[in-house]
Amino acid sequence: MTFNSKPKSFVTRQGRITANQKKALDSFWNQYIICELSEIQEFIRGSYSLLDIGFGAGETLVSIAQKKKDISLLGAEVYLSGIGNVLSKADKFNLDNIRIVSEDAEDLLQNKIPDSSFDAIIMFYPDPWPKRRHHKRRLIKKEFIELLNKKLKPKGVFYFKTDWKDYFDKVNYLFEGPNWEELNVRDLEKHLRDIPPTSFEKKAIQANRSLNTKIVKKVN
Ligand SMILES: C[S@@+](CC[C@H](N)C(=O)[O-])C[C@H]1O[C@@H](n2cnc3c(N)ncnc32)[C@H](O)[C@@H]1O
């Protein structure tokens, strides 16, 4: 399979863009969106850096950015109204520690992120693609985990949540082995421990779906 023909983990959609999101997209795109290799590398170099894959409406990204001003938070998302939401909040709360890459997170990791870059990568409630014939669209698979391992710094943390038990079981299985050490929420630094539930998490609770968390540390 060639790189461009890989199954997409997202459906290209704009979503309903509110007037506020449109204003933020028009006004702050150049300030917060980065795409050049050099800009991305410059942003994450040096300080503690975190990547939020598929940040959706950006609740988690913004919440961490507000609590922890001295870290670099990179968000990857393809959903324009979610990006507008983050830009609006970043301006409102004066968050200069956020940058966004508006492209496929897998392409970003493969092509623009040097190895050993992130202290933490989070992926909360990725699109579950519940039908078996769509499982190939799920982001987490063996090759993606190898990519995560390469892009984390030694002892870097990957934090994953899903409300789809079969996705969780697969992820759990894929993280077995000597490259990863299992962690609990209480082992994490404070900014990763106290994360408010996102709207997806609240919906899962309302629908009585189980919340499943996997946290692993890159060994060495
Ligand atoms: C179900 S939402 C979860 C959003 C958020 N993490 C949360 O917990 O509320 C999944 C998000 O992942 C994004 N997404 C899916 N595949 C992606 C990819 N390859 N690169 C970047 N974003 C992606 C989708 O656009 C969607 O907004």
187-220 residue pLDDT tens: 999 999 989 999 999 999 999 999 999 999 999 7
pLDDT of residue 12: 72
Outline where DSSP puts E strands in 116-151: 118-124
What percent of the chain lies above the pLDDT cut of 90?
90
156-179, pLDDT tens digit by residue? Answer: 999 999 999 999 999 999 999 999
Helices (H), the chain: 19-32, 37-44, 59-67, 80-92, 105-112, 142-151, 165-174, 190-193, 199-206
Domain residue ranges of the chain, discontinuous segments joined by +: 16-218
- 79: its two tokens: 């959903």
| Contact residues of ligand 1, CB 6 A cut-off | 9-10, 54-56, 76-79, 82, 104-106, 124-127, 139, 198-200
Q: How far apart are CA 137 and CA 75, in angstroms?
A: 20
Q: Is 127 labeled as catalytic in the residue annotation? A: yes
Which of 79, 123, 140 most suits a substitution to test ligand 1, by most atoms within 8 Å of the C-beta? 79
Name the CATH topology of 16-218. Rossmann fold (3.40.50)
User: What pLDDT shows up at residue 10?
Assistant: 85
